Amino acid sequence: MIAPRNPLRHFAGRVLVVLLIGTLALVVWRLVDILVLLFGAILFAIGLCAAARFIARHTGMRRGIALVGVFMVGLVISAGALWIFGSTVATQLNDVVHTAPTGFKLVMTELTTSTYGREMLDQIHRANVLGATGWATRIVTTIAGLITRGVGYAVIALFAAIYLAAEPERYRRLCLRLVPPPYRLTTETLFLTTGAILERWLLGQIVVMITIGLLSGFGLWLLGIQAAFALGLMGGLLCFIPYVGAVLAAIPAVFVALTQGPLEAGSVILMYAGVHFVEGNFITPMVQAQATSFPPVLAILSTVAFSVLLGPLGMLLAAPLTLFLMAVIEILYVQHGLGIAPEAGALRVIVPTHSSPSRRS
pLDDT digits (tens, 9 = 90+) for 102-159: 666 666 666 666 666 666 656 555 444 444 445 445 555 555 555 666 677 778 888 8
pLDDT score recorded for residue 93 = 62
pLDDT score recorded for residue 348 = 44
pLDDT score recorded for residue 138 = 55
Q: Is 85 exposed, middle or buried (0-12, 13-18, 19+ CB in 10 A)?
A: middle
Provide the whole-model pTM: 0.71
pLDDT score recorded for residue 1 = 46
pLDDT score recorded for residue 85 = 58
Task: Name which of 151, 159, 139, 165 is nearest 67 in CA terms.
Answer: 165
pLDDT score recorded for residue 42 = 92
Q: Tally Cβ neighbours within 10 Å of residue 49.
A: 23
Q: Among positive and negative, which fits the CA dihedral 189, 194, 195, 197? A: positive
CB 100 within 8 A of CB 144: no
Task: Name which of 101, 126, 121, 123 is nearest 111 in CA terms.
Answer: 121
pLDDT score recorded for residue 314 = 84
Low-confidence ranges of the chain (pLDDT < 50): 1, 126-133, 135-136, 345, 347-361
Write down the domain spans for the chain: 32-350
226-267: pLDDT as tens digits: 778 888 888 888 888 777 777 888 888 888 888 788 888 888
pLDDT score recorded for residue 101 = 66
How many residues are present in the chain?
361
Q: Tally Cβ neighbours within 10 Å of residue 226.
A: 17
Q: Is 50 exposed, middle or buried (0-12, 13-18, 19+ CB in 10 A)?
A: buried
pLDDT score recorded for residue 347 = 41
CA 287, CA 201: separation in Å to the nearest integer?
A: 9
pLDDT score recorded for residue 4 = 54
Radius of gyration from C-alpha coordinates of the chain: 25
pLDDT score recorded for residue 66 = 87
Q: Among positive and negative, which fits the CA dihedral 104, 109, 114, 119? A: positive
309-339 per-residue burial string, b: 16 or more CB within 10 A, e: under 16: ebebbbbbbbbbbbbbebbeebbeebbeeee
